[in-house]
Amino acid sequence: MASLGLALLLAALSALVMLPAARHLVSLRSGERAQATVHTSGACLAGQCQVRFEAGGRTVVADLPVGSGGGKSAVGARLTVRYQPDNPRVVARQADVGGGGAAALTVVSAVASLFFLVLSIVAAVHLARRRRADRIR
């Protein structure tokens, strides 16, 4: 039962969190390009990084989305970003507009989910065979 629960949890993580994050990153592929600096450092993959850049003649501070790569960048580090022209606070690292870490985590969690699902099925079949063998005796 635990492996089935883990399989469902990983499937939910993949389908409800990481896949939408990867799609969001890909949607910024055609966005405006700008040079930015890291404004607030944190775990970028968890969406805890902020960048500062110029857009439309004003300075914008925006959060990098969940699934961003780059690890933990130091404050002041330079990077290229893509942003939506009508809403510059929607931004992603140029290196992530192919899906970034979110795409990799989507695949990893989906494969792990399938592994635990197969493990659950194998355990259920084994248990059923064992019970049937015990009844025959």
Model pLDDT for residues 87-120, shown as the tens digit of each residue:
999 898 888 887 666 666 667 777 777 788 888 8
Q: Helix, strand, coil proportions of the chain in percent (round to 5)?
A: 55, 25, 20
C-alpha to C-alpha distance for 18 and 67, rounded to whole angstroms = 7
Q: What is the spatial distance between Cα 31 and Cα 14, in angstroms, rounded to a whole number?
A: 25
Can you tell me the distance from the alpha carbon of 56 to that of 72, in angstroms, rounded to the nearest whole number? Answer: 28
Which tokens is 20 given?
């939408």
Please enumerate in sequence order all residues whose Cβ is within 8 A of that of 60, keeping only pairs 6 or more positions apart, or say none.
52, 53, 54, 83, 88, 89, 91
- Has residue 29 got a pLDDT over 80? yes
Segment 42-93, tens digit of pLDDT: 777 677 789 999 998 999 999 888 767 766 678 888 999 999 999 999 898 8
Tally of CA atoms within 13 A in the half-sphere of 86 that contains its CB? 1
Whether pTM > 0.85 for this model: the answer is no
